[in-house]
């Protein structure tokens, strides 16, 4: 039986305009957009709020915090997943790529030990219709580790695996060109003494020279053979970008400099920056400002990284502080990320696409999620 829903008295944010009027949904899809308010008695009055596409999150570490809420504590996977999923949906995120680490070099190995359980839990919960958002896997591969390729080969055929990023967090380059920033981050996160930090740095440099290049080559070949989209991580130079392009990588995730972001855009790569960077006004690692990238036309997408609430907030900051038109700002968290990971059925309000929608109120310049629909079904 056909199911029809009409939303009216809404500010509808399409890819190129904000239209005041109505949207009609039918069987989980967007059927029609009308620049007039509906007179149908059953139409849902959105009271002048924005109606925006469901947000697309391509890189969030939020699940990690629920699986390992304290050092040495591993929480049961399904309760952790359900809590994570609820937080995402409440932030307006209807499609998420959960970032899971393999080849992690820190003393906190909880995610590497439980990555298979995470994938199994996500796929099982999704198959039973238990999740509010739609979940895919974004596998983050630390290149400068001995076993990362073996770990990847054990996971590569998971149906939910849809994105892979190749990372190298070796101190002295990419994200951590400034060794002091590296020491502040790792010393604070893992409570290392000065002597432990120096030993950690020495071991990471040794592993980098042993493994990074050959693992980068091996993993890119496997992903290319399986047509899995790839992202490079923390590109800092033109050489980093050229290397990525030569390996078939199409996404530059968190470029750390204007030079790298510009080179990536010139070579046809999509760029991703952190929404917390936008909201806070700066990078926590001292790298390039995401707002500056946006102002220079070098930003394609935002990721909420460790703070799901920042994704929608970041888009509105780009609109209000940087001056991007609202449709352009919201495309950075909807249409653009959807296209970069080859999801062509969502990410914008247009007839024939999925009815993944978010009702947003404006409160003191802060966007507030009031309702969320995924394929026409209300989930928040």
Domain chopping of the chain, boundaries: 53-179+205-347
The larger pLDDT score, comparing residue 241 to residue 195, is at 241
Q: Is residue 158 scored above 60 in pLDDT?
A: yes
Question: Structure tokens of 375?
Answer: 């394929």
- Rounded-to-integer distance, Cα 181 and Cα 287, Å: 10
Question: Structure tokens of 272?
Answer: 């991703």
- Rounded-to-integer distance, Cα 340 and Cα 52, Å: 19
- Judge whether 141 and 102 are in contact, CB under 8 Å: yes
36-58, pLDDT tens digit by residue? Answer: 999 999 999 999 999 999 999 99
Question: What residues does 273 pair with on adjacent strands?
Answer: 302
| pLDDT, average across residues 203-210 | 77
Percent of the chain whose pLDDT exceeds 90: 76
- For the ranges 103-107, 191-195, 204-208, which has the lowest average pLDDT? 103-107
Confidence at 295, pLDDT banded by 50, 70, 90: very high
Closest by Cα among 36, 119, 53 to 315:
53
pLDDT at 173: 62
- For the ranges 10-19, 107-116, 333-342, which has the lowest average pLDDT? 107-116
The larger pLDDT score, comparing residue 144 to residue 374, is at 374
- Judge whether 244 and 272 are in contact, CB under 8 Å: no
CATH class of 53-179+205-347: alpha beta
- Rounded-to-integer distance, Cα 113 and Cα 71, Å: 14
pLDDT at 68: 85
| pLDDT, average across residues 351-364 | 96
pLDDT at 337: 98
pLDDT at 97: 98
**Phi, psi (rounded to 5 degrees) for 205:** -65, -40
59-114, pLDDT tens digit by residue? Answer: 999 998 899 888 778 889 999 999 999 999 999 999 999 999 998 655 444 456 67
Q: Element (H or E) spanning 6, and its range?
A: strand 4-13
- Rounded-to-integer distance, Cα 308 and Cα 89, Å: 9
pLDDT at 136: 97
Determine if the pTM surpasses 0.95. no
pLDDT at 106: 53
Distances (CA, A) of 9 to 33, 57, 119: 12, 28, 41
pLDDT at 338: 98
């Amino acid at each position: 039986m056909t199911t029809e829903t009409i939303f009216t008295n809404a500010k509808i944010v399409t890819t190129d305009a904000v239209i005041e009027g109505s949207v009609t949904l039918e069987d989980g899809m967007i059927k029609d957009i009308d620049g007039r308010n509906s007179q149908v008695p059953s139409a849902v009055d959105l009271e002048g709020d924005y109606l925006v596409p469901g947000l697309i999150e391509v890189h969030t570490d939020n699940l990690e915090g629920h699986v390992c809420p304290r050092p040495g504590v591993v929480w049961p996977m399904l309760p952790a997943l359900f809590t994570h999923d609820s937080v995402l949906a409440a932030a307006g995120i209807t499609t998420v790529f959960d970032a899971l680490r393999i080849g992690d070099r820190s003393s906190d190995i909880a995610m590497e030990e439980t990555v298979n359980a995470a994938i199994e839990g996500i796929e099982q919960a999704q198959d039973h219709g238990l999740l509010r958002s739609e979940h895919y896997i974004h596998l983050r591969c630390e290149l400068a580790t001995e076993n990362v390729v073996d770990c990847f080969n054990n996971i590569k055929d998971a149906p939910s695996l849809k994105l892979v990023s190749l990372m190298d967090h070796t101190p002295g380059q990419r994200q951590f060109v400034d060794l002091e920033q590296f020491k502040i981050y790792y010393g604070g996160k893992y409570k290392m003494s000065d002597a432990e930090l120096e030993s950690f740095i020495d071991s990471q440099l040794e592993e980098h020279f042993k493994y990074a290049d050959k693992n980068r080559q091996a993993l890119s070949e496997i992903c290319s053979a399986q047509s899995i989209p790839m992202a490079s991580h923390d590109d800092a130079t033109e050489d980093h970008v050229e290397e990525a392009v030569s390996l078939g990588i199409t996404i530059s995730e968190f470029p750390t400099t204007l030079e790298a972001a510009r080179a990536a855009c010139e070579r046809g790569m999509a760029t991703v920056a952190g929404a917390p960077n936008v909201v806070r006004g700066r990078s926590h690692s001292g790298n390039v400002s995401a707002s500056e990238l946006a102002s220079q036309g070098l930003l394609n997408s935002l990721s909420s990284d460790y703070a799901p609430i920042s994704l929608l907030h970041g888009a509105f900051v780009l609109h209000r502080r940087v001056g991007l038109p609202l449709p352009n700002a919201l495309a950075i968290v909807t249409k653009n990320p959807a296209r970069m990971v080859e999801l062509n059925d969502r990410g914008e309000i247009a007839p024939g696409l999925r009815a993944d929608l978010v009702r947003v109120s404006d409160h003191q310049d802060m966007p507030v999620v009031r309702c969320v629909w995924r394929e026409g079904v209300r989930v928040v």
